[in-house]
A and B are shown apart, each in its own frame.
Chain A
Amino acid sequence: MTAYAELSTREAYGRVLVELGEQYKDIVVLDADLSRSTMTKYFAEKFPERFFQCGLEEQNMMSIAGGFAASGKMPFASTFAVFAACRCFDQVRVCIAQPKLNVKVVATHGGITVGEDGASHHAIEDLALYCSLPGFNVVVPADGIETAEAVRAAAATNGPFYIRLGRPKFPAVNKDGYRFSLGKAMVLRDGKDATIIACGVMVSKALEAANVLASQGMDCRVLNMPTLKPLDEEAVIKAATQTGAIVVAEEHLLHGGLGSRVAQAVAREKPVPMGFVAINDVYAKSGKPDELLQKYGLTAEAIQQAVKAVVGKKPA
């Protein structure tokens, strides 16, 4: 048994892919000279005949994945999130999204926690891009356990997926035995004064913020929202109705990601004060992951402040 709780999201991906390779004989894996970083190397070692090294040809890789899927295979195509989203967006659009093919794009090194490699390697637009594609399922797991579960769910669900993973190990927020359900949010902590909705590395920050706020007498609900698309609108509307204020936290640009999607649902169904903890229309620089989260305001403290601000805007 693999102890997914101990693993980074990308390590968990590499391990679960081997497990799925046994289960699904139609899985093929493609990588663009990053298999030692995306961890598809484990699959390559176990099933060399079903692993296709594409070299630094990300565009070629995405179109090949489309051709595989059109021939009955279930391709997993992996590279860094910046390349998976920005470099081959047209290939994903034309060869995967428009023909609705069963391709799983699993990208690692999402967000600014990539760290020292700097702006060219910080994927902060990827969620906006993939969420914009009709028919795509978009998932951002928070830890190793959730990654393994989400990748299993992607394999079991026909249709295109984008799963965004990280480089460093994120603190575990889920426990062994956790069951991921596509399009469903999980209440990690209940509360009545406000709701914090988060995905990826920001889920642990949301829990941290809620704990501090609780000690200050503010009772926050925390929703782990790994599926950006399809969005769990029911959970969002329930949060708006029952807690009257929402803060969304994500490791992504302010626009086009989880915050935008939640805001649309809230604006349409149950307008309440909202706050957003995200990267505010800038590119980040080189630095250690934690230094960058601090510098660009992706912290538990920033979430606390945002919660206080939205609670202050609630009608008396």
Chain B
Amino acid sequence: MTESKTKAKLDLSIPELEQKAKQLRRDVITMIARAGSGHPGGSLSAADIVTALYFKVMHHDPKNPQWQDRDRFVLSKGHAAPILYAALSECGYFPVEELATLRKLGSRLQGHTDRTLTPGVEMSAGSLGQGLSYGIGMALAGRLDKQDYRVYVLLGDGECDEGQVWEAAMFAPHHRMDNITAIVDHNDLQLDGRVCDIMGLEPLGDKWRAFNWNVIEINGHDMKEILHALKKAGEVKRKPTVIIAHTVKGKGVSFMEGNVDFHGKAPNPQETEQALKELA
């Protein structure tokens, strides 16, 4: 088991990961522009975290998406589906060309993730607040079967408004779970505006600490910090870890950065050209 797990893992260097993250961002812009709708902002803010997981940290096998012992990535913020599709296709779960079908009738790439259609997608998401619970189910199943896989759940910060997130936050430490890592993509914007204006979350780290989580706060665009935090999270025993990743919504594209308009809007052709130039 351990041997096969060692084999089924990508292991890029930090400069390679940074290049890969840029590629995923280009994929995101291209596919959303082509689809004519989608959520670029929250895909771009999560790009570095998702890259680190799929190209360095997680044990997984694109040739065998159902591999029992794989690490699981649960995208709870399902509207960031494009960044997940980009990562999966660049890993080889399906052809990169398929990204062009995003959101189109008959496509395997739905507007929000659908685990019955897309190889490598673990959860059908889209209704916010449910991924941490779902990931807990996966992690408990692994613990019951004495499998050593880990579950990573990516949440949005706006998503933390949902009460169910805090039900799950209470559950995991109570059950002394240490094979699950939550990551909050804290990009400070939600659909209607700034998080602090829509529904204040701070002190977010203290909230998770009060729920008995091990809390690590990082710059979610610094690959070294991301890798370090994910490694540390795996070392903590008998309690779960949450990584609060401070990020910038729309990261990598100047006119999308910190711009709430690009939460759920596709770039027009000029904007697309500009964005791809910046991400070259």
Contact = CB atoms under 8 A, between A and B. Distances in A.
A28 B139 CA distance: 13
A275 interface: no
Contact of B133 (A55, A59, A100): A59
Contacts, number: 102
Contacts of B144: 28, 49-50, 73
B116 A100 contact: yes
B124 A67 contact: no
A42 to B, nearest CB: 19
Interface residues of B, dominant DSSP: helix
A296 interface: no
Contacts of A94: 124-127, 130
A55 B164 contact: no
A71 interface: yes
Given A64-B136, A68-B138, A57 B115 contact: no
Nearest to A65: B137
Contacts of B140: 28, 52, 64, 67-68
Contacts of A117: none
B170 A57 contact: yes
A95 B134 contact: yes
Contacts of A66: 123, 134, 137
B169 to A, nearest CB: 9
A66 B136 CA distance: 10
- Interface magnitude class on chain A: 20 to 34
B159 to A, nearest CB: 13
Nearest to B151: A67
Contacts of A69: 137
A312 interface: no
Contact of B127 (A60, A68, A90): A90
B36 interface: no
B171 interface: yes
Interface string B147-189: 0000000000000000110011011001100000000000000
B162 to A, nearest CB: 9
Contacts of B170: 55, 57
26 contacts: A49-B144, A55-B170, A55-B174, A57-B171, A59-B130, A60-B133, A60-B167, A60-B168, A60-B171, A63-B130, A63-B131, A63-B134, A63-B164, A64-B140, A66-B123, A66-B137, A67-B135, A67-B137, A70-B122, A70-B134, A71-B141, A73-B144, A90-B127, A99-B114, A99-B116, A100-B116
Interface of B: 68, 74, 114-116, 122-127, 130-131, 133-142, 144, 163-164, 167-168, 170-171, 174-175
Report, nearest first, the 6 A-B pairs whose CB atoms are least far apart. Answer: A67-B137, A63-B133, A71-B141, A60-B167, A57-B167, A64-B137
